[in-house]
Amino acid sequence: MIERTLVLLKPDAVKRGLMGRILSRFEDAGFKVVGAKMAWADEKLARKHYDEIGGVGKRRGEKVLQHMVKIITSGPVLALCIEGIHAVDTVRKMVGSTEPKSAAPGTIRGDFTHVSFSYADAQNKGVENVIHASGNGEEAQKEISLWFAAKELHSYKTVHEAHTF
């Protein structure tokens, strides 16, 4: 099944100069970027993304939501709409566990982050984990429409698709 999913390279990834290295992983895996833009989320967009769509405040509490909003509004993000076979689940596997300390080596979070929830809690701050990826198909559709206008998403054939029989 060909799907689309939202990926956000968060401000910590942008500030660390990891955008190209992370984007390459998706392209190397055969995914197609059908939308890409830099954006600086304001609090309204951040709250809509995390609380209304993802339900973070309902699941994890207002304090966690505030930390997440603070992180994602601290600098520009690279918003990506990625397309491919089973994109939602496969991209989530590539991204790794939400808690960087628990993310397996070879995943994006496992390779580029290491903070634990307990350390962040002790410091009274959020966990910078470089990337967001939609959790399921319904969430992906909502998030993509939140971050991208329809005219910003593109359909095209990669060289691999153009040469298949």
pTM of the entire predicted model: 0.93
Catalytic residue among 49, 67, 86, 132: 132
Residue ranges of the alpha helices (H) in the chain?
11-15, 19-28, 43-47, 56-60, 62-72, 87-95, 108-112, 117-122, 137-147, 159-162
Active site residue 163: no
**pLDDT band, very low/low/confident/very high, at 164 (cuts 50, 70, 90):** low
Q: pLDDT digit string (tens) for 22-77?
A: 999 999 999 999 999 999 999 999 999 987 776 766 666 788 889 999 999 999 99
Residues comprising the chain, all counted: 165
- pLDDT of 56: 67
Domains of the chain: 2-154 (3.30.70.141)
Distances (CA, A) of 31 to 4, 129, 162: 10, 22, 15
Q: Looking at the predicted structure, is the pLDDT value of residue 163 above 60?
A: yes
Q: Looking at the predicted structure, is the pLDDT value of residue 165 above 60?
A: no
